[in-house]
Amino acid sequence: MRGEPNVKSFDYLAAFYQAKHGPQNFVRELDSLLAAEDATVRAIPFGCDRPNADWLDGCVCGDKKLTLLYRKDALLAFRLDYKFTEHGQQKSASGSFFILQQPDLQNVFVAFSLEPTTFFRRALLPLFQGLYLL
């Protein structure tokens, strides 16, 4: 009896986050990933009184901290580190997301995340809600 071969699976989502996408192809590349993989994208459209989203780099909102991973024209990639309590235990985690500035609408942006629902509910959505309350 032979053992199962040791086959490594490829993490398409991690590879997508690591690739340095440009704003012109981002939506098409995201669509291709979603068609090929069992993934879900979540989006948060938002407006801002600033002309770009660079100001979010290093931003701290409660227990959440943003770090700019890269910027390519109107597309920015961020890491969001956050803390949460689960079963009485303090835990920390991180996730990634993109912000795309809308070329035809001044000061209008869309945040996109392919991370699990827990990241969206525990970190990303509360981050934007907190920023709007500041």
Q: Which domain holds residue 91?
A: 12-133
In a domain? residue 112: yes
Domain count, the chain: 1
In a domain? residue 4: no
pLDDT grade for 134, boundaries at 50, 70 and 90: very low
In a domain? residue 7: no
In a domain? residue 104: yes
In a domain? residue 1: no
In a domain? residue 103: yes
For the sheet with 75-86, list strands across it: 42-47, 108-113, 89-101, 75-86, 64-72, 60-61
In a domain? residue 5: no
Q: What is the pLDDT of residues 73-83, one digit of tens each?
A: 899 999 999 99
Q: What is the pLDDT of residues 62-112, one digit of tens each?
A: 999 999 999 998 999 999 999 999 899 999 999 999 999 988 888 899 999
